[in-house]
Structures are given as structure tokens and as C-alpha cells.
Amino acid sequence: MNFRIAGCCIASFLAGTALTLKLAQAYAPAGESSAFSTVIAITPAQHQALEARHEMDRWLDDELLFREGLRRGYALDDLIVRRELQRRAREALLAEHPPQAAGDEALQAYLDQHADRYQAPARYTFEQVYLSCGAHGAQLEADALALGARLRASPDDFAKLGDPFPNGARRVAVSAARIVSEFGLAFAQDVTQLPADGWHGPIPSALGAHWVRLERIEPGRTLALAEVRARVATDYAESEKQEALRLALASLRGRYRVVDDPSAISITRRVTDESEIP
């Protein structure tokens, strides 16, 4: 019996609330009424659960505050709210205009159009003879020059010359970035400019001095689709999504107009029809 009375009270309160909001909507600026609804829907199960926890009033207050905030236009000047609304609108537009799945032909065309993004770097194969700073100290420069004379006299007799290097005497198909990480920027800049015509040096690095013989340069190239399919597919999908969003936003421009003077927007009021009052 008590629950039935409480239900009637809640129903009356909801009806009164709806009437109040409808009247407020009726005298709001034109166009504002579409920003929120005056109907507060709640399922019987949700209603019962809230009543059982004595949270009905709090839930209703929260709902009323939310809708009142929309009615007053607070969503328009709150940065966090604006960004969330923009995010959800963006997702809705993309859901309504989903990009087409891409086949190999479309992916290859995208790869050809953006080839500069999918480049394999040039790679270098070289041999080196290394003299460490620690082992030679003040004699490093003189010892490096003497080493150069021996290499010029016997270019292929170098295996037992110099000091051990952590990554070995021969580096195979390494990129300029890898050379920088192992030897330093200045060394990499010198080595990548060497001609493949014998020993050159001494080339300094933070580790010591090096004589280098460049064997082979593999030029940079555009990667094949098979090598970068996943990357291209991801980039293509993102590109298509942005294009779909651009077209959707372009179609929305016809629904709105931009004015330099906000006061130029006319404010109209309407009278609530009696049929709208519950």
C-alpha cells in the first residue's frame, strides 16, 4: 500500500517536472528546444531499484540538473563538455558514413601516392680497423697514421691489426641510424660519404680512431606492399576515415549559418500547445 502511494507521488512529481520543463522550453530561444528533451524516461525495474536504495530523489535531481544545464546552453561554453560532444558526434558521423574496406589495388595506389613514407634506408657494408683511445692514449694519432701506411701496403692483410671492437671488424648492411648508434654521428656522416675504393682514415669517433673500407652500398628504396601491408592498411583506413568525416561535415554546413554579429540572431518565443501539457 505504501509503495503504491509512493509510486503515485513520484508519478505526480514527474508529471509536474515535465510540465515545468515544457513551459521552460516553450519560452526558450528558438532552436534551443531541440537540444534537450522534457521527457524523463525510467523503466519500472530502474524505478524500483532506486526506491529500494532510497536514491530516487538524488537520481531525479541529477537528471534535472543535467537537462537544465542543456536548456541553459552550458554545454556551449564548457570546454570539456564541448570536446566530449564533439567526440561523440564525430563517432556518430563516422558510423553513419563508414569508409570502404581496401583491397590490394587501393592499398598499392595509396602506397604509390605516399611512397616517401615507406622507404627502406640505404644500407652500408664495411670493414674497419680500430685503435682505442684507452690503449693508445697520446700516441693514438701517430699509431693511426702508421696503421694507415700498413693498410695501403697490404690492403687485405688487416685481420690481426688494430684493437678488438665490441661489434666486430665487419658491419653488414647496416643503416646510417645503426652506425650512429654504434659509432656516433660524426663517424656515420664520414662513413656514409666514402667511396668504395679502399681504406680511408683515420676517422675519429668517441671510442678512438678507425680505418674504414666501404664494400657495398645498398641504395634506399620504396618498400613493397608485402613488406608494409599492415602499416599501409592502417594509414589508408585512417585517411579514408578522415575523408569520410570531411564529407560528412561538409554536408552539415548547409544546416548552419555563421554570422559575425551574434545579436543578429532573432529570438522568438512560442506558446505551448495545450496538447503538450500532460
pLDDT digits (tens, 9 = 90+) for 179-236: 999 999 999 999 999 998 899 999 999 899 999 999 999 999 999 999 999 999 999 9
Instruction: Categorize the per-residue pLDDT at 15 as very low, low, confident or very high, splitting at 50, 70 and 90.
Output: very low
Q: Could you give the angle at which helices 2-26 and 44-52 cross, rounded to 10 degrees?
A: 110
Q: Look up the pTM and report it.
A: 0.57
Chain segment 17-60, per-residue pLDDT in tens: 343 344 334 334 444 444 456 788 888 999 899 899 999 899 88
pLDDT tier at 66 (50, 70, 90 boundaries)?
confident
Arithmetic mean of pLDDT, 233-249 = 92
Per-residue pLDDT tens over the stretch 110-158: 999 999 999 999 999 999 999 999 999 999 999 999 999 999 999 988 8
Contact 62, 42 (CB under 8 A): no
Q: What is the per-residue pLDDT for 99?
A: 76
Q: Name the residue with higher pLDDT: 189 or 266.
A: 189
Average pLDDT, the chain: 81
Q: What is the per-residue pLDDT for 3?
A: 43
CA 129/CA 151 separation, integer angstroms: 9
Q: Is the dihedral of CA 185, 187, 189, 191 positive or negative?
A: negative
Domains, the chain, ordered by start = 2-77 (no CATH), 122-219 (3.10.50.40)
